[in-house]
Amino acid sequence: MNSQEVVTLYQAGKRNFSQADLPKVKLIFVRLYGANFSGANLHMANLRGADLRGVDLRGADLTGANLRNADLTAANLEGANLSHSSLSGANLTRAKLKRANLENSILTDANLSQTNLRFANLRQSKLIGTILTGAILLGTNLNGASLLGANLTEASLVDTNLHEANLTDATMPNGKVYIEI
């Protein structure tokens, strides 16, 4: 299936693309609100600026995907593989990223407010200027992550691995700013 087929089927009312094989598909600035891509192969897909609000991407392979400026509000990405993906400027407000793999991903200036990141892997990721207000980071791996200027106000950091994370100028849950010396 190619990008035009996906768009045509979506416009015709199809919403279930579960387990679809769509590596390197280009769905730039496309509206796919509420579609089901659970378990789909979206390896290296270009979804830049796409409207993916409420999309089901549970267990999807989004390795190396371009999701820059995509709207993933309330999307379900539980168990998805987003390693080496670009999510700069993406809106992930209230998204579910429980147990998602975001290792080495770029989330610069992304909005992850009230996002569930329980047990997610964000090892070595770039979260520069990222908004994590009210995010649930219970058991999340942020080992070696760069959180320069990130906003973690009201975030839950219970059992979060922040080993070797760079928190320079980050706003922490208690309102204090951590500056690495």
The predicted-structure confidence for 75-123, as pLDDT tens digits, reads as follows 999 999 999 999 999 999 999 999 999 999 999 999 999 999 999 999 9
Gap between the Cα atoms of 167 and 180, Å rounded: 7
Total domains in the chain come to 1
Beta partners for residue 141, in sequence order: 121, 161
**What's the mean pLDDT when you consider all of the chain?**
95
Percent of the chain with pLDDT over 70: 96
CATH code of the domain containing 171: 2.160.20.80
* Structural domain range at position 1: 1-181
* pLDDT 10s digits, 20-57: 999 999 999 999 999 999 999 999 999 999 999 999 99
Question: Which of 71 and 178 is assigned the larger pLDDT?
Answer: 71
Chain mean position to CA 99: 11
State the distance between the two ends of the chain, measured CA to CA, in whole angstroms.
Answer: 52
According to the model, what pLDDT value does residue 180 have? Answer: 45
Beta partners for residue 56, in sequence order: 36, 76
* Phi and psi torsions of 3, nearest 5°: -60, -40
Structure tokens at 41: 């192969």
Distances (CA, A) of 168 to 10, 61, 175: 44, 32, 14
* Phi and psi torsions of 23, nearest 5°: -65, 140
